Structure 1
Amino acid sequence: MAKESWMTEFPDMERSDLIALRKSLDGAYREFSREYGDLIESFFDPLLSFLVWFENLLIASPWLLVLAAITGLAYAASRSWKLSLGVVCSMLAIGYFGMWENTMRTLSVITVCTLLSLLLGIPIGIAMARSDRVQKIVTPMLDIMQTMPAFVYLIPVVMLLGIGKIPGVIAVVIYAIPPVIRLTNLGIRLVDKEVLEAATAYGASSFQRLWGVQLPLAMPTIMAGINQTIMMALAMVVIASMIGVKGLGQPVLKSITNQYFTLGLLNGLAIVALAIIFDRVSQAYARRTQKHLGGVEHA
């Protein structure tokens, strides 16, 4: 009887302890956000200022100038007139259907998130490639970041920073940064040891081996990581619109809640067009880099 009583009371005791733990954690996070929320928000003010400036620049600039700049960048990366023509046609279709401003907002957010992911991700990937200990520490964190549902990222960020552009950027970066970290690490580790030994024999320092040998040879793999980061950032556009990030995601969200089929379809196709442009341009640049390296090795 005593054993049965203990077995029946234990679930209630465990449940009450769990509730108490959850309440204490929630209270601690609320106190932390009230105490340090403004300080953390002020830390991101320069990033917010740059994002607002870049967005206003894209929107205020003449559409023809923006189109020429995007097409020029696409051609410089791909050296393909066919791809550049496809970029022109896609952007003209976006403008024709009245989605130009939202596309510029989305483009500014994706550009800033991608640059931030590269500034953070490539050094972390290099550190992982140069230290097995760092790799053991970072790899589980990347696993959590890639398997956790995207909506979960929004909860602590919104509670800490509220609704706006910066929480959206942080959520997008957390979601999109793992591929560039993993593939930077992989690309550097796959560099032939004999090449590194030859560079060392010629008196190259550790920094010279990294900058002059490992990164150039790993560039195709790193570009694949950049490509995946851009795709994942675009995938977060609709989710980020739920916390106030303006762009193509908000009309899609509006179409879901109000059953506006055409609105959601057109803005969804605009997101797809941006994804295809980024994907094709980055892949073309990676192929050009690989051919260049292959030519050097062959020579």
Structure 2
Amino acid sequence: MTEKSWLTDIPQMERSDLLTIRKTLDGAYREFSRSYGDTIESFFDPLLQFLIWFEKLLLTSPWWLVIGAVALISYAASRSWKLVASIIVVFMAIGYFGMWDDTMRTMSIILVCTLISIGLGIPIGVWMARSDRAQSIVTPVLDVMQTMPAFVYLIPVVMLLGIGKIPGVIAVVIYAIPPVIRLTNLGIRLVDKEVLEAATAFGASPMQRLFGVQLPLAMPNIMAGINQTIMMALAMVVIASMIGVKGLGQPVLKSITNQYFTLGLINGLAIVALAIIFDRVSQSYARRTQQHLAGGKHD
């Protein structure tokens, strides 16, 4: 075989090997889906029931009650009447333009995804902060999760669980959870070692140091991570609508496929409004927490 023909055969051999690997992996995943898909689906049934209940709660509650609850929570977090007034105006506008139901559906899935991300992300971040080995293991995984195109998340989830709320929640959580993990880890690692030594000198146990010193002092960073997680979850709304997640994302997707400019613009602005509301409330709460820790006065 001449050098030229040998070099020419390399791409053909590589394509053959790649095709074999792809067929093997695809077959293995299909077999895994057939064998364990129902079991995995049943595992998520409680979460699905909670999602359905929460969505129905928001949809069936009177609009004034929902706005009042959101305003009350926003004021408790921010202590800002201006922010509360802006939130009331935004929700009134959403109702006026006929986007109330889709907004409630989007709020329900975003809130649930955020709670799941916080419940999983903060413990993982704490684990990373307490172990350099854990950090070296988790960091590459987070790098992949943050750089992988969002559409790629949907492929294995849909193949395993089909379309619907649960696949959407899983895809959103995978996309949105890295910031809260990273910033929890960073916040705890930035806690002054002298403060920890003082707590140890006063006889604090490792758990007392964690909950009494490290987590409170790391709270501004943790809140920044939660803020970014909410923003990324909202960014996934349109993509998640492709696998049957109802909400503001579906009209936007419909406007793309049918070239309805106004429909996409109005629903897109509603998503932006939700993002701004969540951003302002979480940032205000983070500032108040930081001022409280520093001994300052609340706004």
Question: Do they fold alike, i.e. is TM over 0.5?
Answer: yes
The answer for the alignment partner of 1:182 in structure 2 is 182
Q: Which residue of 2 aligns with 1:227?
A: 227
Query: Deviation string for 1:50-105 (max 9, x for gaps)?
Result: 00000000000111111100000000000000000011000000000000000000
Cα distance in 2 for partners of 1:13, 1:222 equals 50
4+ aligned runs moved over 6 Å, structure 1? none
SS where residue 200 of structure 1 aligns? Answer: helix
Cα deviation for residue 110 of structure 1 reads 0.2
TM-score when scaled to structure 2? Answer: 0.98
Deviations 1:193-233 (A, max 9, x none): 00000000000000000000000000011000000000000
Partner of 1:9: 9
**What is the match of residue 265 of structure 1?**
265
- Cα distance in 1 for partners of 2:88, 2:9 equals 69
State the alpha-carbon separation in 2 of the partners of residues 199 and 157 from structure 1: 45
CA distance in 1, matches of 2:253, 2:106: 14
1:45 equivalent in structure 2: 45
CA distance in 1, matches of 2:265, 2:9: 55
Number of the residue aligned with 2:135: 135
What do residues 251-287 of structure 1 show as CA deviations (whole Å, max 9, x unaligned)?
0000111111111111011101100000000000000
Identity of aligned residues (%): 80
Residue 119 of structure 1 is matched in structure 2 by 119
Q: How far apart are residue 23 of structure 1 and its match?
A: 0.6
Find the aligned partners of 2:262 and 2:2 in 1 and give their Cα distance: 66
Structure 1 distance, partners of 2:131, 2:119, is 19
C-alpha separation between the residues in 1 aligned to 2:70 and 2:292? 24
Residue identity opposite 1:86 in structure 2:
S
Work out the CA distance in 2 between the residues paired with 1:23 and 1:195.
56
1:1-299 equivalences in 2 (<5 Å): 1-295=1-295
Distance 1:11 1:101 in 2: 54
Structure 2 counterpart SS, 1:295: coil
Whole-angstrom CA distance in 2 between matches of 1:57 and 1:224? 29
Deviates more, 1:287-296 or 1:140-149: 287-296
Aligned residues: 296
Aligned partner of residue 98 in structure 1, secondary structure = coil
Question: Cα distance, 1:235 vs. partner?
Answer: 0.3
TM-score by length of 1: 0.98
**Cα drift, residue 179 of structure 1:** 0.2
Give the whole-Å Cα distance in 2 for the aligned partners of 1:51 and 1:146.
Answer: 26
Q: Provide structure 2 residue ranges, at least 5 long, that are not aligned to the other structure.
A: none
**Separation (CA, whole Å) in 1 of partners of 2:223 and 2:278:** 12
Q: Distance in 1 between matches of 2:103 and 2:53?
A: 16
CA positional deviation for 1:9: 2.2
C-alpha distance in 2, partners of 1:14/1:273? 50
Distance in 1, matches of 2:219 and 2:10, equals 57
Cα deviation 1:2-46 (Å, max 9, x = unaligned)? 333322223212211111111111111111101111111111000
CA distance in 1 between partners of 2:14 and 2:107 (Å): 49
2: CA distance, partners of 1:168 / 1:11: 38
